[in-house]
Amino acid sequence: MSRAYLAAVLLVLYARGQDSNYKIEAAGACPDSVAQEIREALQPQGIRLVDASQATVCELWMRRVIPQKSPSGPASGGLAEGTLVGVLSFPATGSDFRGQRIQPGLYTLRYARIPEDGNHLGVAPSPDFLLLGPAAVDQHLDARWKRDELIQLSRQASGTNHPAPLLLLPVAGQGSFPGVQRSDHGYVVVQVKTQGGTEGGGQTVDLPFAIVLVGKAEA
């Protein structure tokens, strides 16, 4: 794939503009009800997504250093499936990328890629997701979740036969961190940045994420 073609694809997927209906505010530390080993691995302060009515949509705490298989980033398979990325709080009823209602509470976020089969063809503009899991159940930072186990964990967040996903998009070259923008699909996308490090230690690098926190897949 040529660089020109890749740049064109990303531009179509991810043309963005600032969204005046939402804003980012600082949040405090992750609540003590999250397991200690997970809480201690998070950034000391989170962010809060607020809508035009000043209501909090959700709060997000990212992991300080996220282990990577390779330095290619989260939106290109650089993370092992099941890697814990952060913790999300819905103070009121929330929603995932499928449009499923998510009950108020605290949820872990673990990386997953959409299955490459006919049932999932074309359901999202990116194969990369974060799956919500109840923080009361998911209590071990580096738990080795098999795919079926990860899906079962996330079903406990959705309360349905489907997992509860949040879509990851390729990170745009413009925009602030943390920041909120609207994609050309109409999704409200929050950009955040943390650190990534490959196995074996060594120097860490900036690791940005672009997470769809408002918006759902087209029917």
Convert the pLDDT of each residue in 202-212 to its tens digit. Answer: 688 889 999 99
Residue 124: predicted pLDDT = 63
The Cα–Cα gap between 63 and 156 comes to 22
The Cα–Cα gap between 108 and 37 comes to 13
More reliable by pLDDT, 218 or 182? 182
Picking from 90, 81, 195, 191, the residue whose alpha carbon sits closest to that of residue 135 is 90
The Cα–Cα gap between 25 and 172 comes to 21
What region does 149 belong to: left with phi over 0, alpha with psi -120 to 50, or beta? alpha
Q: Does the structure show a pLDDT above 70 at 219?
A: no
Rg from Cα positions in the chain: 16
Residue 6: predicted pLDDT = 31
The Cα–Cα gap between 112 and 147 comes to 8
Residue 73: predicted pLDDT = 56
pLDDT tens digits, 15-46: 344 567 999 999 999 999 999 999 999 999 99
Average per-residue pLDDT for the chain: 85
Element (H or E) spanning 183, and its range? strand 179-183
- The percent of residues in the chain predicted with pLDDT above 70, rounded, is 79
Model's pTM, two decimal places? 0.86
